[in-house]
Structure 1
């Protein structure tokens, strides 16, 4: 067990590297403007949007040189890296799943770059390696995306991401021989794989942007294809979408009984249309729901009945069923199976029963129902935390779920779906004792009086003296819920005496659609005010103080950090915006960014929306003569989700206008994208850099 504490000498300026005299790389300012509703907005660093140009790549290299020169001088960076490596080195095994005659599961021996897929015969037998993603590339930066088995388990299709890109390859195997069938598919993006018997599968993609802009070019119309495994990808036919039915996001699934093709189509990340093809009764795709006002997702089927989870007239979700004879009717007869309640619902199925997973004040509760909606039982969980899983085939009696919290390493349980009894299946052996820590939930008041939950985690015996190094983390967007989860990175922070606080901000999904909408578009500033109020709560209750607090968040959370540090630069000593959406006037012009408009609105919508976005866009609100927090911006040069130019431009603005000795650095990972599939060694290195940067700028001299 690591038994460490921080030794501080306060914020002594002579200890810290004198950032005021740091020589940042020169970033050329060009006389470029963008015009919105008659107003010209300077865009001096627009040239950094050309991520493939030699000029931008030279800038990236120069910035990294300065950043790593600074980080490598921090005396305990290597100590933190060693702590992370040591704690990370424990075996991690996923919940198993069945396909064909085999049970499959992922395992990582501790420090492997990517987890390996193993299998063994369900009836008993030795285990074997089925698929090892570590062999995809020499440096571990190619990773496994979705993997999908045919109904009988004899075929598998898996996706490969290279360098963290959202563009994927797809490989098909015979599962018996582990030999490839046919050619490798290329240029697949934002797609799942839906097998139709053993004939082939449905997948989605876009036209590849023009050469030179594959990472940042706008992707507009998604297309659903069917791939016959006996044919070339070149011969794949468009089934849905494209120019005929232009939609930004299209996804297909085939129900377990192989009777229905289910297509969801959307233009943003909220709300979707639903189309169904009933292979038994008709040979065409029929619209069930059109328009994007609500979400509709098929959960399961039973004969002629189709079970759909929706937020139509139910902000917290409900489960309804539709008879197949009503497909195509103008007025749908949707019969309620599980009604809406005060807690947010997500439904999964196994053994022809329904599992209703509710979010209750940011923890999971689970109830089991039969297909008529009759409650069978409440599933007893180990405590307050997050439970995931509860899914299996229609004839699968035993299923698995995982349970975790901020201080409870993810543990797998086996559940008998007929008795409701759980038993421990696999508990990780890790050098971390949950009994040494406390994780408590508080409710604080935001600027407009809204009560916001926050979970604060720390080592027992913590002194509330205002001097505890603290990371305040948030997201607040896209109806995504931040539920408790164990992290080796955060464990090291806690073991060293730090506080880790997670605020469940509006814009997320913790309390359903109303909570989400309260943090979108012209309400987006509610999210920032919620985060500011979280920081003020921690300070006023002596958990920490401004000089010992770091703001942290990634992607939409990177926007959160960027906005809050420009709105309230005095709130925290350190800012850690990761892969952030930071140019709110141009975000929608890159890759799939236009699909985020439900949450953000766009500068092209109308003058009011433009003015609102301009008022908080981090890139456009860095002001000369202001002291901003010590800032370490992180991004990946292969990020084609939130393109790295957001971070590049924000770094350039901050470096040019910073008015105090707090350093402004950007760490650009040249072997990674938005984050998914990042190899273990890169995660450890980046975490050590972030933690050491924060502690160093808190005035921490050494770790003991």
Structure 2
């Protein structure tokens, strides 16, 4: 790639004067809706944007046109898009997996909309296409969600998402002939596919909301069904959930030895009940733990023994063993005890692989089934590891290594000898030797030390004039670990800095770190993010005029809350598919399940007051100059419904006091993020990079 570094001079600070007058935005339908919480009236003038009404559709079309018109005037927008296409155009191959007589893997030639599933016959060594999701739809907007085989490998079921929706369909095929052998199952959501022999499989779903309410109707009562091959979906047996045992999230899994059916049931995204049923010896479900105060999951079984990964009495997680004969928590025995670092577990080849997160960087140890240390695994460097999973009898396992300046490389690992070798190294047009990835620790408002990774090209001068994206998440126990992105590569190649603080609310330091960013402590998350921005500015990595705030989903809330709390912190803001109406988020689709992190406005007056004090939709103030903002959402997002972004955008456009633009970038035929076509992803990121540089006054 022949990219030239950006020269930042006063002569290229042109965008502020590009539009000499304040924007004239499309007008959203306004009403006089008011809700009362604990005696406090709260106006909700843009309530109609929650509905799929004609005025809303008209406004959305006008916003799409308005944003595209603005973005089309950025002179280097196509240049950035071409840069992205160029670096994206390399072969991507996944680690293989063995099913029956075949080895399966995913491959994308470069710019294909969706990756293709190939398979190699282990006897004849011939390779063929098994599934090509690019043929699911004309524009590549129907994606493969998951693929599951029975134990013999002769049957398979796969789920597809149309337009990015969380509502899936399941298609059942003869894995040998690739022919469909049963009716397509519809209206499946938040579901696994777990086979029981050759008879059929377990899956989960909700009752489908009424027509016209897919993006607003609550999905509250999850249900696990068993689909018996050759029968109609309407006759599928309800196994768990529904009115009898109402739970919001339920997953079903059959153990590798096919002996146990395992059920995890929860009402929020933290904490779960655990049930088990002995399919071999019969009997009813046994409840292993009651209530939702702990998280626990069965990761392996061995005869009567169950291996459970849990945070019970272990905020940094531990692996325990118990027996099906008496599996309650008081009988749990440590196999791999808790340490000062957060633990992750995978199984394969008859071993456990313990991944320890140390300041967001991974270390891996291999243990046998008794908990005896086999070896410390030598890794290629400091970064993020995934993999080491496989079947009990597989000795060749695979893992992937990556960090912010190292493209993800797949390694083959022998579980008995501990030797590893490169299996697949991507040929990306990127040289890690030209870049720096450094970790710093800064102090948040309350004195808490926060780690942050700062990534940039060698030779960047710390003069306060470097375009910088500050990205984070801060919620739901999700850890942001180093990972390579071709989008960030283009940003850095063009002179940008990419910074990621590991703020509270995530899982980098265990349950305590997560809980420190929930409910009445949620503002810790925003203060951590603000302090990260101030650190970068104080150390002259960048300055306000060259900083962009970015985050998606819960990270979209992070950006929305930060820019309304501190509109002076950054020049640009990207709240992506964000949770932005904190008083009503629990009224839509699966939103009520997020209450562990957020609390709800109905809980009590104190919780209501706290939510209202930072809810982005409710804290846009007239007369304030907000950053140049591109709100990102999708018309099929049925997880964080687009009404959040619509209402926030309407408030900002109405009250913006300066010339900084407020755009709504609404992707058509897309959902919360997963399954988008390559071209959709390239288009969004080209707009993001172009908009950021343009609003910072930088010319390519």
Change (3 A) 1:290 1:382: same
Which residue is 2:218 aligned to? 218
Q: Report the alpha carbon displacement of residue 19 of structure 1 after superposing the two structures with TM.
A: 6.8
* 1:309, distance to aligned residue in structure 2 (A): 0.1
Counterpart for residue 143 of structure 1? 143
Q: Which residue number in structure 2 is paired with residue 47 of structure 1?
A: 48
Separation in 2 of the partners of 1:249 and 1:430? Answer: 39
| Range that drifts further, 8-17 or 410-419 | 8-17
Q: Tell me, in whole angstroms, the C-alpha distance in 2 between the residues paired with 1:297 and 1:578.
A: 31
Superposed CA deviations along residues 186-209 of structure 1, whole A, max 9, x for unmatched, are 000000011001100000000011
- Distance in 2 separating the partners of 1:612 and 1:205: 34
For residue 122 of structure 1, report the CA deviation from its aligned partner. Answer: 3.1
Q: How far 1:124 moved relative to its partner?
A: 5.6
> Residue 36 of structure 1 contacts residue 604 of structure 1 at CA under 8 Å; is this kept in 2?
yes
Is the 2:28–2:56 Cα contact (8 Å) retained in structure 1?
no
Give per-residue Cα distances to partners, 1:192-232, cap 9 Å, x unaligned: 01100110000000001111101221111000000001111
Partner Cα distance (2:66, 2:278) in 1: 60
Map of 2:390 onto structure 1:
392
Q: Does 1:289 align with 2:284?
A: no
- Asked whether 1:364 is paired with 2:362, we answer yes
8 Å CA contact 2:556–2:580 kept in 1: the answer is yes
The farther-off stretch of 549-558 and 97-106 is 97-106
* CA distance in structure 2 between the aligned counterparts of 1:2 and 1:361, rounded to whole angstroms: 35
Partner residue, 2:89: 89
- Give me the CA root mean square deviation: 1.1
Gaps of 5+ in 1: none
Stretch of structure 1 that moved more, 295-304 or 546-555: 295-304
Aligned twin of 2:655:
657
Q: CA deviation at 1:279?
A: 1.5
CA contact (8 A) 1:326 1:332 kept: no
Three-state SS of the structure 1 residue aligned to 2:143 is strand
Measure the CA separation in 1 of the matches of 2:98 and 2:468. 42
Q: Secondary structure of the residue that 1:674 maps to in structure 2?
A: coil
Partner of 2:375, secondary structure, is strand
Deviation at residue 484 of structure 1 after TM alignment: 0.6
Structure 2 equivalent of residue 575 of structure 1: 573
User: Are 2:649 and 1:646 aligned?
Assistant: no
What are the within-5 Å matches in structure 2 for residues 411-490 of structure 1?
Answer: 411-490=409-488
Superposition map of 1:56-455 within 5 A: 56-123=56-123, 125-327=125-327, 332-455=330-453
Give the whole-Å Cα distance in 2 for the aligned partners of 1:316 and 1:615. 32
Q: Could you state the TM-score of these two structures normalised by the residue count of structure 2?
A: 0.99
Aligned to 1:592: 590
Contact 1:553 1:576 in 2 (8 A): yes
Paired with 1:675 and 1:70, the residues of 2 have a C-alpha distance of 24
The offset of 1:12, in angstroms, is 4.1
- Kindly state the Cα deviation for residue 237 of structure 1 after the two structures are TM-superposed: 1.3
Q: Secondary structure at the match of 2:170?
A: strand
- Note the alpha carbon deviations across 1:113-149, whole angstroms, 9 max, x for none: 0000011023560211100000110011000001111
Mapped to 1, the partners of 2:684 and 2:15 lie a distance apart of 26
Helix, strand or coil: the match of 2:473? coil
Query: CA separation in 1, counterparts of 2:24 and 2:659?
Result: 12
Q: Distance in 2 between matches of 1:80 and 1:615?
A: 38
1:634-676, CA deviations, whole angstroms, 9 ceiling, x for partnerless residues?
Answer: 1001000000000000000000000111100101011101000
Which moves more between the two structures, 141-150 or 9-18?
9-18
- 1:303 Cα offset (Å): 1.1
Deviations 1:570-628 (A, max 9, x none): 00000000000000000000000000000000000000000000000000000001000
Query: How far apart in 1 are the matches of 2:405 and 2:556?
Result: 25
Check conservation: 2:15, 2:697, Cα contact below 8 A: no
Task: Please report how far the alpha carbon of residue 4 of structure 1 lies from its aligned counterpart in structure 2 after TM superposition.
Answer: 1.9
Q: Deviations over 1:373-402 (max 9, x none)?
A: 000001111000101010000000101111
Deviations 1:285-329 (A, max 9, x none): 1211110001001111111111000000000000001111114x5
Pairwise CA distance, 1:21: 2.7
Match of 1:25 in 2: 26
Distance 1:447 1:460 in 2: 31
1:529-540 matches, within 5 Å, as: 529-540=527-538
Give the Cα separation in 2 of the matches to 1:690 and 1:512: 32
Q: Aligned-pair distance for 1:283? A: 2.5
3-state SS of 1:21 partner: coil
Contact 2:22/2:658 (<8 A) preserved: no
Deviations 1:11-69 (A, max 9, x none): 8467643274321101222111011111110000000000x222211111000111010
Q: Match for residue 560 of structure 1?
A: 558
| Structure 2: distance between partners of 1:284 and 1:178 | 36
Could you tell me how far apart the structure 1 residues matched to 2:61 and 2:508 are?
40
Q: Which whole-Å deviations, capped at 9, do the CAs of 1:352-389 have from their partners, x for residues lacking one? A: 11000111111111100000000000111100010101
What is the aligned length?
A: 699
Deviation of residue 97 (structure 1)?
1.0
Task: Decide whether the 8 Å contact of 1:27 with 1:652 is kept in 2.
Answer: yes
- For residues 498-521 of structure 1, the C-alpha deviation after alignment (integer angstroms, 9 at most, x for no partner) is 000001110000010000000000
Q: Deviations over 1:337-360 (max 9, x none)?
A: 000001111111111110001111
Q: What is the distance in 2 between the residues matched to 1:541 and 1:22?
A: 35
Whether the 8 Å contact between 1:509 and 1:516 is mirrored in structure 2 is: yes
Structure 2 Cα separation of the partners of residues 29 and 248 of structure 1: 34
Mark the CA change 1:387 to 1:76 in structure 2 (over 3 Å): closer, same or farther.
same
Deviates further, 370-379 or 273-282: 273-282
1:212-258 Cα offsets, whole Å, 9 max, x none, are 10122111100000000111101001100100000000001110000
| Cα distance in 1, alignment partners of residues 363 and 47 from structure 2 | 48
SS in 1 for 2:527: helix
Q: Indicate the residue corresponding to 2:6 in structure 1.
A: 6
Return the offset for 1:3. 2.8
- The question of whether the paired residues in 2 share the 8 Å contact of 1:249 and 1:268 is answered with yes
Q: Is the 8 A contact 2:15 2:694 kept in 1?
A: no
Q: Could you tell me which residue of structure 2 aligns to residue 689 of structure 1?
A: 687
What secondary structure, in the 3-state scheme, does the structure 1 residue paired with 2:7 have? strand
Query: Are the equivalent residues in 2 in contact too, given 1:2–1:495 (CA < 8 A)?
Result: no
Q: Which runs of 4+ in 1 moved over 3 A?
A: 7-16
